[in-house]
Amino acid sequence: MSTERLDVIDARLERLTAVVERTANNVEAISEEVKSISSETKSLSSEMKALTQQVRLMTTGLTEIRLTAERQEQNITRLVGIVETLIQQKGG
């Protein structure tokens, strides 16, 4: 092979080497980004689970408050009935 031909091949190899190095650097950078995103996703998942649990607790608490309010309403209605009966007995 001639020197010119070898120089052309050498130049192509250098360009290919540069492309491969840039590609390797890009792959490394992308891999780091993927790791970071994966970590963030795990963190967000944990936060979502915690928030879901808090919503469950709040819903349970609100349900208990509603049931307590209903029982109190029933008790008040009974007490009003008792007071009305006592008033009628006293007046009659």
Over residues 56-79, the mean pLDDT reads: 98
For residue 91, name the pLDDT band (cuts at 50, 70, 90): confident
Percent of the chain residues topping a pLDDT of 90 = 93
Query: Per-residue pLDDT tens for 18-45?
Result: 999 999 999 999 999 999 999 999 999 9
pLDDT of residue 54: 98
For the chain, what is the mean pLDDT? 96
DSSP for 3-69, written as a single string: HHHHHHHHHHHHHHHHHHHHHHHHHHHHHHHHHHHHHHHHHHHHHHHHHHHHHHHHHHHHHHHHHHH
Over residues 71-90, the mean pLDDT reads: 96
Q: Which amino acid is at 32?
A: E
Q: pTM for the full model?
A: 0.56
pLDDT of residue 92: 65
Signed CA dihedral, 61, 62, 67, 68: sign only = positive
